[in-house]
Amino acid sequence: MYKINKIIETKSDQIEIVPFGDIHYGSPNCRFKLFKEYVEYIRKTPMCFAIGMGDYLDSILLTDKRYQPRECDSVLEDHFVEVRNAIEPIKDKIICLLTGNHEHKLHRDGYGDPVKRISRELGIPYAGFSAFIKIKIFPKTHKRSLVIYAHHGWSTSRKTGSVVNNVENLAQYFDADIYMVGHSHKLWATRQIKMGWGGSRKVVFCNTGGFLDTYSNNTTEYGERAGYPPQKLGVLKIKYYPKKADIHISE
């Protein structure tokens, strides 16, 4: 587990955090153009920051049961360069990059972790598979720091309720204001109100979506073969109001 501290200098009433991940670049079902549209949104939006949630590359190798033979003129190095170049315009806005199970598989097979390489080349903090992220606003205009617990994820359940339960269960073991998880490609958010000695606070749980179509014309990928459900593509937009310590989420 990693700990990431981020200090944001602003007098704005609002900051925005956009978690992105599960791009799966290299798959014919990857909607990379849509991802780059969100990158441009992050770049242009004032006080907008991003957190990478892992699985930026698809990188299904011959030894993987999900491997799909096909005509392809790109190789792993090309995939790496395309993803790195896509996020470079927002490198100063990315709080950290988590790695994912696809990158971990490459690392385990001796290729190294491409997320560590992207982090090193672009100067972005690397956050491993899971991290606590503490965001402080300076000068101090807020009641307390915003704490995020981010994990690439592990659940591939077809039922949304099971995935929601898995994410909400994190609050039993980790103390945060926002819990964000990827991997399942589902896009949703829920909230709870927690009471304490000092009063109540809103706690948010979310799955951060992705950019891989399960089903696409003229292709048959591993998600389709496994019978995974279609998913809505995109990201969540998390708006934090530091003066009120309030959190709102939209798609």
Which of 1, 38, 40, 2 lies closest to 21 in space, CA to CA? 38
pTM over 0.75: yes
- In 6-159, which ranges are continuous DSSP H helix? 32-44, 76-87, 101-108, 114-122
Contact 202, 248 (CB under 8 A): no
Question: Phi and psi of 189, rounded to 5°?
Answer: -150, 145
Which residue pairs from 6-10 have beta carbons closer than 8 angstroms and sit at least 24 positions apart in sequence? Answer: 6/49, 6/95, 6/133, 6/134, 6/135, 6/136, 7/135, 7/136, 7/137, 7/138, 8/47, 8/49, 8/135, 8/136, 8/137, 8/138, 9/138, 9/139, 10/47, 10/137
ω into residue 69 within 30 of 0, thus cis?
no
* The Cα angle at residue 162 between residues 156 and 163, in degrees rounded to 5: 55
In sequence order, what are the residues at sequence separation of 6 or more whose Cβ sits closer than 8 angstroms to the Cβ of residue 55?
A: 21, 22, 23, 24, 100, 101, 102, 103, 152, 182, 183, 210
* The Cα angle at residue 180 between residues 140 and 190, in degrees rounded to 5: 95
The first and second tokens of residue 139, run together, are 């000068």
What's residue 23's pLDDT?
96
The first and second tokens of residue 154, run together, are 């592990």
What's residue 62's pLDDT?
45
Contact 26, 79 (CB under 8 A): yes
Which of 235, 181, 251, 249 lies closest to 14 in space, CA to CA? 249
Q: Which residues pair with 134 in a beta bridge?
A: 5, 147
The first and second tokens of residue 156, run together, are 């591939």
Domains belonging to the chain, first-starting first, are 2-250 (3.60.21.10)
Residue whose entry in the numeric block shows the structure tokens 């978690």:
19
Which of 188, 133, 129, 174 lies closest to 153 in space, CA to CA? 129
What's residue 71's pLDDT?
42
pLDDT in tens, the chain (251 residues): 999 999 999 888 899 999 999 999 988 899 999 999 999 999 999 999 999 999 999 865 445 555 454 544 456 788 899 999 999 999 999 999 999 998 888 877 777 899 999 999 999 999 999 999 999 988 765 567 899 999 999 877 777 788 889 999 999 999 999 999 999 999 999 999 988 887 888 999 999 999 999 887 777 776 777 777 888 999 999 999 988 888 999 98
Contact 187, 162 (CB under 8 A): no
